[in-house]
A and B are shown apart, each in its own frame.
Chain A
């Protein structure tokens, strides 16, 4: 609060979408200048950032984050979770509805929205529950959440599936009135009672109850047909199987308005990791087979899968330091997502950095209907929501030193490529020189 106008920045030699280097000036919350190195006018007092060799992306947007507040502040808070998001290069997150109380009323979504504004690290867009208490029985007041200060557009019972076909149909229809989308956690409940991991070779050997691919695929197949019938748009959360990719590909071929996401962990990890019963690898949907990993990579590369979303799911130690069957589902992901996408898709030559911008920023912003503010082009006059990444860096992942309040990363002990050097939210640095700011100027807590 020391100056009337916020700090200006100049990024020297940054490569937008991995292309030729430019200098970029950020001032007054927007991209104030952009041009060949040494050719742009730099305001007095601008902070110089040496971005030589670094890739400049639009600020990342996560459509699927669990911030846990209200209710499970022992796992994560809006403050700690959004700070982790900034560290991972994000400038906006969608906070899933499975809080306690559930984000199923205007009051609760406004509370989460306000907590996000107070923290100041990223834009927080609460996801509204589809059904009251995620109970799967009665529609929540979707319109009230849409009309609230939080302007909810994404609705999901994530963690639970809207399995009743009539209720799903109604939800798909109802949200059309305010251009909303139902984001389905596709899991047929009867086929997954007591399910612990992917059903297949590994589950058969190690004696854990299987979570069959068909339990995901059958719901996706039903939902795309429902979406076609009622002319609604559908978003498929964290699809994880080769069959799901095929169904979505088929649906898009028919012109059905469906989008799909894959998590970073489903792009790289397999169910073989369950063999030592370390619950850090327990997640829902479960880690699948190498063939599924290949299929989701192919689907992401060819556009069948629209976006990568983290499904960042922090849990306290005691919920993971126990028997596999007693452990919670989920893994953290905000601080490793970009690195995993680089490793699996960019470094393998399957995607360009422009594709990364599409799947981690532009498309999630569009699906969440926040694309007037986020996921914007890197161009003159656009909001300065930007992420600067050093793709040549490698870093060792350690759950204990991450910014998130929980340590349950599945990548602990691994080396991942790429490092977020700076993140800017409307021109203000949330991360600078690889260090995440302790407190955002103007934040109220």
Chain B
């Protein structure tokens, strides 16, 4: 892998390799000395055009635990319409000799353009581009689901993960909330499908994109019905942006209370699920809106574990990008 830009089109073998490598990385993280020498002398740039303390820290931690040199380039304020252009930033990073660029940008496609614009040689790792993709989030979600529902790790995180090499065949995952604006939803739909899971998106019709019919998933407008009749093995709640409910006639739903009643996840809805089911959320949570405190803090919630798994998955992605044997993308390999 030269870049990790999207889960759409990611080969199943590559996805499982990422998860297996993440499992190996995770195993090293229980040691007293968590640092590996793998990427010594390599430079990873965290290029963040959007505020994201969590994701940036996760990538920074991952790179440092692999002994890479990390440069944080916060370009917040360099909005897409003014200030230094993406191209000039890319040329700067190229001149500085970056080996990998982790990019978060409000513009869909920014990571793709960095990778393919001819401005930069470095591997590009998409840390979220607009409404498009956030592949490491989907990978950490899949990793978390696999550990618990395939690998036999308990709700408490105890037990040995026996899922190496496995996919998610037959598992049912409900993804609930603002699908329209969500790069997390897009990334998960494609990755989970590739790994053999079934996905149902649950949202009010206003928060489902026109054109969703080609996605490899089902769509439901009813959370209770989905939980009761479809009995998902995992429920992934999406963050609802506060601005989506304001805007007068442009609001996507009538009120936070109504949203919460119809699409919020709480202890009552949790009780409907099978006993083994787990609850995920990419964070940061709006407690009381899309998820209640009781559900978020329940023993079957793996939300905090997702954060730890995020570091392992990002270590795996950086490792595979930077120590890859070929430096070619899957596409390029296939073309030859």
Residues of A within 8 A of B (CB): 190, 193, 196, 199-210, 212, 276-277, 318, 321-326
Contact = CB atoms under 8 A, between A and B. Distances in A.
Contact of B108 (A199, A207, A318, A321): A207
A42 B264 CA distance: 86
A204 B210 contact: yes
A79 to B, nearest CB: 29
B186 interface: yes
Nearest to A322: B85
A201 to B, nearest CB: 4
Contacts of B80: 322-323, 325-326
Residue picked from A199, A203, A207, A277, most chain B C-beta under 10 Å: A207
B311 to A, nearest CB: 26
B13 to A, nearest CB: 22
A192 B105 CA distance: 22
A208 B108 CA distance: 6
Contacts of A318: 85
Contact of A207 (B116, B131, B210, B212): B131
Contacts of A206: 108-109, 132
Contacts of B186: 205, 207
| A-B complex: 8 closest residue pairs judged by Cβ atoms | A277-B109, A207-B132, A204-B211, A207-B131, A323-B107, A207-B108, A326-B80, A204-B209
Nearest to B109: A277
A210 B209 CA distance: 9
B109 A202 contact: no
A276 B118 CA distance: 13
A324 B109 contact: yes
Contacts of B108: 196, 206-208, 277, 324-325
Interface string B199-226: 0000000000111111100000000000
B132 A326 contact: no
B110 interface: yes
Contact of A205 (B129, B130, B211): B211
B110 A323 contact: yes
B102 interface: no
Given A277-B113, A323-B110, 20 more contacts: A199-B211, A201-B214, A204-B209, A205-B211, A205-B214, A205-B215, A206-B108, A206-B132, A207-B132, A210-B209, A212-B210, A276-B112, A276-B116, A277-B108, A321-B85, A322-B87, A325-B80, A325-B106, A325-B108, A326-B80
Given A205-B186, A208-B109, A276-B112, A323 B215 contact: no
A201 B109 contact: no
A96 B275 CA distance: 66
B193 to A, nearest CB: 13
A212 B209 CA distance: 11
Contacts of B133: 207
Nearest to A212: B210
Given A322-B80, A323-B80, A203 B211 contact: yes
A326 B107 contact: yes
28 contacts: A193-B250, A196-B108, A200-B211, A201-B214, A203-B210, A204-B209, A204-B214, A205-B211, A205-B215, A207-B129, A207-B130, A207-B132, A207-B133, A208-B109, A208-B131, A209-B131, A210-B210, A210-B211, A277-B109, A318-B85, A323-B80, A323-B86, A323-B107, A323-B109, A324-B113, A325-B109, A325-B130, A326-B107
Contacts of A325: 80, 106-109, 130
Contacts of A210: 209-211
A324 B214 CA distance: 23
A325 B215 CA distance: 23
A198 to B, nearest CB: 9
A199 B132 contact: no
B183 interface: yes
B107 A324 contact: yes
A202 B112 CA distance: 16
A202 B211 contact: yes
B266 to A, nearest CB: 30
Contacts of B336: none
B81 interface: yes
Nearest to B105: A323
Interface in B119-152: 129-133
Contact of A277 (B106, B112, B213, B215): B112
A132 to B, nearest CB: 25
